[in-house]
Structure 1
């Protein structure tokens, strides 16, 4: 006779979005991107996915992504920009889009890390949306509580320009560093992991 062990955790298939050839972000969860090149990180993730992208940004900040610059990463026509009047509206909009589960990637530029309660609400919204959407919050310093993983990206002005990518925290993987470069039209990890600082 076969016995199955039951637990209270919600069932989720082991799905993920693979980017830069071998790195993975868990689907149906909210992750964090931080550092000076956090927007580049978000566009590399968007490049690895299909379908539309919702990009939420603070309407009170003057800076915005440049369409021709984005074209090196993704088709800007895939992106729907939403400018919010207040930080609470950014979080509410992200939660509602994740709950709908119809947009594969939702990116939110935040002026600072959100509190644990809004992050938990967004993780629950991902589950309510059937785990089809991936959320990515972009914060300057990288300390959002409750994020599934945290990735920091900074420019690397070495002999060959590129970026330094660090997985600072993840539920299912150890911290690690890589160098990211561009080969033709593709973005790739360096052959060897970057040295830890």
Structure 2
């Protein structure tokens, strides 16, 4: 492992030598921060033991162009702030049980209806992906109940939840209900979006799928 001092941020030192605090000082242990990112330089098989491989690593810094590009891409795909972003990330990678646990904790501390509605919607998404369709509908409806108290009936932010409920009903084989909610979603999109917007195509496709 190599560390180029010129690549280390002036504001953050990502590692510390802890050999004098270690129970095994001869190992010259180094403690790295949890957010440290390394680039794999080379992987070679050790000549003395074919079962062992040696990996050469070099630490990256905040100005690494590929790391910056990856970070920006993740920010684009994973929206939200703080723990909400973490929940979205867990959902994205399929860690549904951990995401449910996190969102339930966030729900306990939610300070306003907007946050509660968002959390209920996300819990609906997670239950849907776990095949818990009835629970998913219940959470989506809780989100709708909150949003409809403060938003007009044709507000664009209601369309995704109507569409999500439609998808759940479609997967349950309740096609009339699926069609009802897909059409509610489409009606809002037709008001709030230009006629060539791809979200309209999604709604038309969903309705076609029901038929």
Query: Could you say which TM-score interval applies, normalised by the shorter chain?
Result: under 0.3
- Hey, which of these two has a bigger chunk of strand by percent? 1
Q: Choose between structure 1 and 2 for higher RCO, CA contacts under 8 A separated by at least 6 residues.
A: 1
Structure number with larger C-alpha Rg: 2
Richer in helix (by share) = 2
Instruction: Give the TM-score normalised by the residue count of structure 1.
Output: 0.26
